[in-house]
Structure 1
Amino acid sequence: MTAVRPVREFPGPPARQAPALLARMARDRLEVMTSVAARYGDAVRLRLGPKSLHFFNHPDHAKHVLADHAANYRKGIGLVHARRALGDGLLTSEGEKWKAQRRTIGPGFQARRVNGKADAIAQEAVRLVARLRARAGDGPVDVSAEMTGLTLAVLGRSLLDADLGAFDSVGASFEAVQDQAMFEMMTLSALPTWLPLPRQLRFRRARADLEQVVARLAAERAAIPGPDGDDVLTRLVESVRGEADPRAGRLRMRDELVTLLLAGHETTASTLSWTFHLLDRHPEVWERVHAEAVEVLGDRVPTFEDVHRLRYTGMVLQEVMRLYPAVWLLPRQAREADEIGGYPVPAGADVLICPYTLHRHPGLWEDPDRFDPERFDPARAAGRPRYAYLPFGAGPRVCVGSALGVLEATIVTACVARELRLSTAPGHRVRAEPMLTLRVRGGLPMRVRPVR
């Protein structure tokens, strides 16, 4: 007779605390995830009225959900509801549609193509330094806004071979779409989109504006093919050419481009914002980054070959993404009943993997809240569980643009640190805002001081 293995009981706050827990989540989602992990351990059930969230916080759990049994876990709570704002782009789609989208855009992120965009990234970084230098001695500059503009420009040049700066409102439209997507996630799409609320009205205008941007980009690309014929925009134009309904094709392009550009520029902009905040907080780290940039780059514009020589800068960025991972939460939903780490997961259960808490797990990281780039020295990193660090997710749905993001962040950090010292405006409190990405709440006002 086969022995029946006992199933563990999920720990977690009692059901009677659901209203208070919901209120806390509305105020500070990071605090809730951090506190329940500290109190209840690596597997926690959060009862929220009729719904429960199954929160797992161990590398083995992440490997099970994201990689080994990924087919059993579709996109979960929040992202499903964000589809009403984002449409069926790569971030929210499933199954064969997702596979087709990945095949369409994947070649745009091949190493050959990404590495070839280092010059374009460096040119944008040089322009950024010039803009910041021109503000030296003036009032604070919103570094988050500058990073957003820079990453949008880089994505336009590297993925679309197009100048997104020609569209004045595109940044504001992306912001409105992201706000709506987060609102849908938090309210679980409870409010109809036709309600004339100010947020809904801004979102409708933004969607209409982005649809016009997509139509113009597609028309321009059809008239003038991309230089290598393999950029993402060209591939998207070709993928919808056979649509029987041209409007349906335009809407599909809109969804895919909006998702791609929103996820692509927002993640890297957030990482760069946190990088300059932490360099300001840790002047000894800034000194090393500055010295490395001067030694490796001299007075030259960076090239792709320089990136591998910016070793300490790379360690700094890895540590920034540990403390403030842009993709801070990976929600999934179980298709069929499963067992994770001995805990039962019913069919249809909402499952959460949280890189933010996993990256600060005291059993995995020494002094986890301390900013210490040296922890990513290969000698110290040896033996660390592979799934203890997930800045780009893992498994089949790992971020397709991770290599481009790292390349961009490395070049921009080195260029800025070589020339400038950025310091947070006096009295400004820097706080994290867990939206679609983990961004700096309300911008990052910093003063600029040239050092060369």
Structure 2
Amino acid sequence: MTTEALPGPPGGTPPRTPPRTPPGPPRRALPRLLAKLATDRLGLMSEAAALGDAVRVAIGPRTLYIFNHPEHAKHVLADNTANYHKGIGLSEARRVLGDGLLTSEGRIWREQRTRMQPVFQHKRIAAQASVVAEEAERLVARLRTYRGAGPVDVVEEFTGLTLGVLGRTLLETDLTAHGSVAHAFEVVQDQAMFEMITQGAVPLWAPLPQQMRFRRARRELNRVVDLLVADHRPAAGDGGEGGAVGDDALSQMIGAAESQGGPEAGRQRLSDELVTLLLAGHETTASTLSWTFHLLDRHPEVAARARDEARAVLGDRLPEHEDLRELTYITAVVQEAMRLYPPVWILTRRAQEADVIGGYDVPAGADVLICPYTLHRHPGFWPDPERFDPGRFLGDSGGRSRYAYIPFGAGPRFCVGSNLGMMEAVFVTALVVRELRLSTANGHRVVPEPMLSLRMRGGLPMEVGPA
């Protein structure tokens, strides 16, 4: 591709510079790319990253502009964020999730973000440390019962833990009474990914097994939402009659919903927001914990050092918020797990107006993808990138770009719950490794499953033994 300037029109007008288009695979590769989109999305993104930091991939009627450099991520997610709305996958998932914080845009998103910000303030999260520690202690007690009793799916255990934490810290309710929630969210994730692959071309009312499972799951989630609101409304109503509205997320959402234009609109907005909060609030942390213990099992020397730190810092007591400053190695273990297996593995945007990213022209309407999974493995910023090494996060970063590591996103849409998620992951890791050793069941092959979050296909069966 030539980069020479094209001659301009007569009359002394400066020569035109031809547009610089990112390279990409030939169109004859379309069938293989479509197959990868459906069956091997991480392989598709890794293959694109191998071609360069900026790649253009045509898949059917869509052309994906995939950028894999920290400066590209900074431009899209922070510097020019107003030009980039939620893109492929999330825009289609809006049919599934509605206008929650994950999918909404513009005024609706700003209102939701402003409403949720106080719920996640540092002071409030620090005050919830004892709740997180108690839930982590309950998890250890459950795992203890499996010692010598055969494998247990720790993904299910971590999911139950994160739902318990979410319910008590953000909603001031007990989500363990709603055992169907986790399965319903799994179905919703499946449907959201189906929407991305099919580009929203299949009606939700179509009598396909996938669609029918989704409709049942959404009905179940709406039922749970109604029960949570009914249980919570007296407190919110008391606040509305002159007292202070509760500072938990559910009270804030109920108050906002009651101010919407009409009861039906308010109910739908409340349902969308709460379902999104429940999904995003438990799924990403459960995923992080699953990958953390998979990696600890594969690296016993790291597990031993983490265990030594947990025992030295905590002794036999539960962790407190101030202990996060001392649990530095365990924090680094969690950070390194999120580097290799970021729970939010891809960030999709759609350019509202034409732009230039890293010297490449991006047309209006283009699908722009930033993939933390590949960015976190960029050899220019991460030496020996496939190696699990928590030491990367101890001491000096060596001048590494802030945007080379974005497990919680970046810019205005940086994950509002990141502090709670990190505290939860560090506390759980510390309490489990202090007492127990989790070993992957013989014969089980761990396979990443990139959905809305980076899950493990088929769960993670692990044997529980003494540390």
Q: Secondary structure at the match of 2:384?
A: coil
Conserved? CA contact 2:440–2:462, under 8 Å: yes
Deviations 1:26-48 (A, max 9, x none): 1211111112211x210000011
Do residues 396 (structure 1) and 412 (structure 2) align? yes
Do residues 428 (structure 1) and 444 (structure 2) align? yes
Letter in structure 2 aligned against 1:63: K
Percent same amino acid at aligned positions? 63
Q: Find the aligned partners of 2:48 and 2:192 in 1 and give their Cα distance.
A: 26
Q: Secondary structure at the match of 1:13?
A: coil
2:151 to 134, 140, 143: 140
Do residues 30 (structure 1) and 42 (structure 2) align? yes
Give the C-alpha shift of residue 330 in structure 1.
Answer: 0.4
Give the C-alpha shift of residue 6 in structure 1.
Answer: 5.0
Deviations 1:364-385 (A, max 9, x none): 1100000000011122x13001
What does residue range 112-191 of structure 1 map to in structure 2 within 5 Å? Answer: 112-191=123-202
Letter in structure 1 aligned against 2:419: A
Please say which of residues 167-176 and 437-446 is displaced more in the overlay. 167-176
Structure showing greater radius of gyration is: 2
| Corresponding residue of 1:229 | 246
Conserved? CA contact 1:7–1:342, under 8 Å: no
Please provide the CA RMSD for this pair.
1.4
| Corresponding residue of 1:216 | 227
Conserved? CA contact 2:245–2:252, under 8 Å: no
Do residues 283 (structure 1) and 300 (structure 2) align? yes
Give the C-alpha shift of residue 446 in structure 1.
Answer: 0.1
Q: Find the aligned partners of 1:20 and 1:364 in 2 and give their Cα distance.
A: 30
| Corresponding residue of 2:268 | 251
Give the C-alpha shift of residue 339 in structure 1.
Answer: 0.7
| Corresponding residue of 1:56 | 67
Letter in structure 1 aligned against 2:22: F
Give the C-alpha shift of residue 313 in structure 1.
Answer: 0.3
Q: Find the aligned partners of 2:305 and 2:205 in 1 and give their Cα distance.
A: 53
2:346 to 323, 326, 329: 329
What does residue range 265-280 of structure 1 map to in structure 2 within 5 Å? Answer: 265-280=282-297
Deviations 1:143-199 (A, max 9, x none): 011001100110011100110111121222222211111111221111111111222
Conserved? CA contact 1:211–1:250, under 8 Å: no
| Corresponding residue of 1:75 | 86
| Corresponding residue of 2:453 | 437
Do residues 204 (structure 1) and 221 (structure 2) align? no
Q: Find the aligned partners of 2:191 and 2:59 in 1 and give their Cα distance.
A: 23
Letter in structure 2 aligned against 1:294: R
Q: Find the aligned partners of 2:101 and 2:332 in 1 and give their Cα distance.
A: 29
Letter in structure 1 aligned against 2:106: G
Conserved? CA contact 1:328–1:438, under 8 Å: yes
Q: Find the aligned partners of 2:275 and 2:375 in 1 and give their Cα distance.
A: 29
Letter in structure 1 aligned against 2:422: V
| Corresponding residue of 2:428 | 412
| Corresponding residue of 2:53 | 42
Deviations 1:293-328 (A, max 9, x none): 000010001111111110000111110000000010
Q: Find the aligned partners of 1:409 and 1:111 in 2 and give their Cα distance.
A: 16
Please say which of residues 23-32 and 431-440 is displaced more in the overlay. 23-32
Q: Find the aligned partners of 1:7 and 1:378 in 2 and give their Cα distance.
A: 43
* Structure 1 spans left out of the alignment, 5+ residues: none
Q: Secondary structure at the match of 1:193?
A: coil
Give the C-alpha shift of residue 25 in structure 1.
Answer: 2.1
Please say which of residues 276-285 and 190-199 is displaced more in the overlay. 190-199
Structure 1 runs of 4+ with >3 Å offset? 1-7, 224-228
C-alpha spacing 1:312/1:3, structure 2 compared with 1 (3 Å): farther
Conserved? CA contact 1:214–1:250, under 8 Å: no
Q: Secondary structure at the match of 2:442?
A: coil
Deviations 1:31-76 (A, max 9, x none): 11112211x2100000113321000000110011000000000000
Conserved? CA contact 2:98–2:272, under 8 Å: yes
TM-score computed with the length of structure 2 as normaliser: 0.94
* Structure 2 spans left out of the alignment, 5+ residues: 1-12
TM-score computed with the length of structure 1 as normaliser: 0.97
Give the C-alpha shift of residue 396 in structure 1.
Answer: 0.7
Conserved? CA contact 1:211–1:251, under 8 Å: no
Q: Find the aligned partners of 1:403 and 1:95 in 2 and give their Cα distance.
A: 25
Q: Find the aligned partners of 1:334 and 1:78 in 2 and give their Cα distance.
A: 14
Conserved? CA contact 2:245–2:251, under 8 Å: no
Q: Secondary structure at the match of 2:350?
A: strand
Q: Secondary structure at the match of 2:88?
A: coil
